[in-house]
Amino acid sequence: MGTVSGGLGNSAQTPTDPPVASFLDRSGSLAGQADQQLNLARAEWCWFRSVAVFVYNRFLLDVKALQVAAMAVPHPSPSSSRSHPFLSHVYHTGFHHHNHHHNHHHHQPSLVLFWCLVISLLSPLALSSSSSSSSSASSSSSSQITLGFGETEGTKNDLHQAILRDESVARLHELGQVSDAVSHLERTFMSPASIRAITLIRGWMEDAGLSTWVDYMGNVHGRVDPKNGSTQALLIGSHMDTVIDAGKYDGSLGIISAISALKVLKINGKLGELKRPVEVIAFSDEEGVRFQSTFLGSAALAGIMPVSRLEVADKRFYSKTLVSSLFVDGISVQDALKENSIDITEENLMQLKYDPASVWGYVEVHIEQGPVLEWVGYPLGVVKGIAGQTRLKVTVKGSQGHAGTVPMSLRQDPMTGAAELIVLLESVCKNPKDYLSCDGQCNEDTIESLANSLVCTVGEISTWPSASNVIPGQVTFTVDLRTIDDVGRKAILHDLSTRMYQICDKRSLLCSIERKHDADAVISNPNLSLQLKSAAQIALKKMTGEIQDEVPVLMSGAGHDAMAMSHLTKVGMLFVRCRGGISHSPAEHVLDDDVGAAGLAILEFLHAHM
């Protein structure tokens, strides 16, 4: 599978996952829910049609027998009435009415016959409608654009559907099974599951005709170099690591969409027609779960990763049984790489940095992780910028003591102090204008920007010694603060830190605030954004048959590898809608057709570079 650069040795080339079912088997399982709905609808209509035929035959023999048969037909349940509104109308205007009044309305048998014939004749139509609805059961209720790979482009269209949608969806499900935990998806930097993911992704890259290698930070690269053209490469990437209890689309969708688009070019014999090299990168770490430091993979390539980060220790030990994870300290980034045959040093870390002159630009496809695209009914959107982000680790120290013997008035309780700090954080982030002034700290525009974009989260909290009958001696919690306004973010951090220290001093507590991560807001390159917008419009037109005049343009509140890569080159991003805006959760979901739309948009973007 090519040469491993920087190690990983045989571990990167020997898959440890169980054999994967064939693509056809996976496709069949993906269609199982729709088939089940279709079979249920078919069974329901067969039953109603049988009743109708039975009643019709009895009518021909004896009118009175018809009346008895009609009265014997059971009433539908409320759920059936909702599922079949037409049948609900039939029961309440035909059979049901006749059951109570047949002695007074002698013309009712003819009415019953009429409805029976209607049911019998319309059942194929209703079945067809049910089939159609079941095939689109996963469509968003807010969707204003109906996607699909029609038959207007013949074989080319079949190829788009098979590779860009069906195979991509199957690969997303396959990669979503590569986990360090049995009960949920968990794949972090240099864990056993990440090594298996490297092997899997590398194989897909080679299947698309790309030359592959793994670098000193565990990033997977797949590259095609056309014989003629520019030496500046277009980079397309996203991350292969996950959070704990993750969804299977975050990061993975961007990697697989790019690989699939290049595979279509390979099948069509057009890889060599690209006018510049194209390199797909699966970054080893973006989430920062294991080492509490984001963008390890992309920061190394962009040249912004400090050497000291190699010595940062994790808090998670990965059990070889893959059943559970035990928390311990002591495994550094460098140690984790060495455990996987990657002997990284300060020198080769510096060598990972790309020469800016060798890169044309960076593009990333990612799920939106928010509700905007679903709300407006568009499958794709262009990202105009990414919010700046700061992560803090706040430690509050007090006096540890017995929960029953220390009077409340004499306590130095770091837990109650931390609680007050967290409430302060919420208040500042909800109402920044009440805490910041326009005289020196920031202007009115900054305060207005903060009011519209500032979000703060305490995502993790721990105590020591963490016992129910002990007053804690120390409490530690994290703060995640984001906004599109860098000036405002810095002003908020200054004000927040000052107020936190004041609260701890008042409570006779010690407080330390450590900045773990700091990233400025990133503005997407306007020209790249226009190209992505055009590609999205062409893709949606091919899938809907309609010209899409507008593609939504939105900000990203979540951090992405594009933030790190912006230090190297110009960046652009394409968002894909996700159901309910849910992410970092097993409930994370992207419609199959939206997966196909993302791949087709990247394909059209590549066509513009041929």
pLDDT digits (tens, 9 = 90+) for 352-391: 999 999 999 999 999 999 999 999 999 999 999 999 999 9
Give long-range contacts, CB 8 A cutoff, 24+ apart: 531-535. Answer: 531/572, 531/605, 531/608, 532/363, 532/382, 532/572, 532/573, 532/574, 532/601, 532/605, 533/382, 534/604, 534/608, 535/574, 535/601, 535/602, 535/604, 535/605, 535/608
Positive or negative, the CA dihedral 457, 453, 449, 298 is positive
A 10 A CB-CB count for 597 gives: 30
Residue 381 backbone dihedrals phi, psi, to 5 degrees: -150, 155
Q: Could you give the CA distance from residue 294 to residue 285 in angstroms, rounded to a whole number?
A: 7
Q: Residue 604, SS3?
A: helix
> What pTM did the predictor assign?
0.68
Query: Is 90 in contact with 75 (CB distance < 8 Å)?
Result: no
pLDDT at 394: 98
Residue 111 backbone dihedrals phi, psi, to 5 degrees: -65, -40
CA distances 55 to 65, 73, 115, 119, 207, Å, are 9, 9, 10, 12, 60
Q: Could you give the CA distance from residue 324 to residue 150 in angstroms, rounded to a whole number?
A: 46
Q: Which two tokens stand for residue 576?
A: 């894909």
Query: Is 23 in contact with 162 (CB distance < 8 Å)?
Result: no
CA distances 410 to 406, 413, 517, Å, are 7, 9, 36
Q: Residue 152, SS3?
A: coil
pLDDT tens digit sequence for 559-586: 899 999 999 999 999 999 999 999 999 9
pLDDT at 406: 98
Residues of the chain where predicted confidence (pLDDT) is lower than 50 = 1-51, 53-110, 112-113, 116-143, 151-154, 317-326
A 10 A CB-CB count for 184 gives: 12
pLDDT at 584: 95
pLDDT at 610: 85
Count of helices and strands (H, E) across the chain: 21, 18
CB burial of residue 256 (10 Å; 0-12, 13-18, 19+): buried
CA-CA-CA-CA dihedral for 228, 234, 239, 240, to nearest 10: -10
CA distances 485 to 80, 477, 524, 549, Å, are 53, 24, 15, 30
Domains of the chain, start order: 155-317+327-385+524-609 (3.40.630.10), 389-520 (3.30.70.360)
pLDDT at 70: 35
Q: Which two tokens stand for residue 277?
A: 């090299």
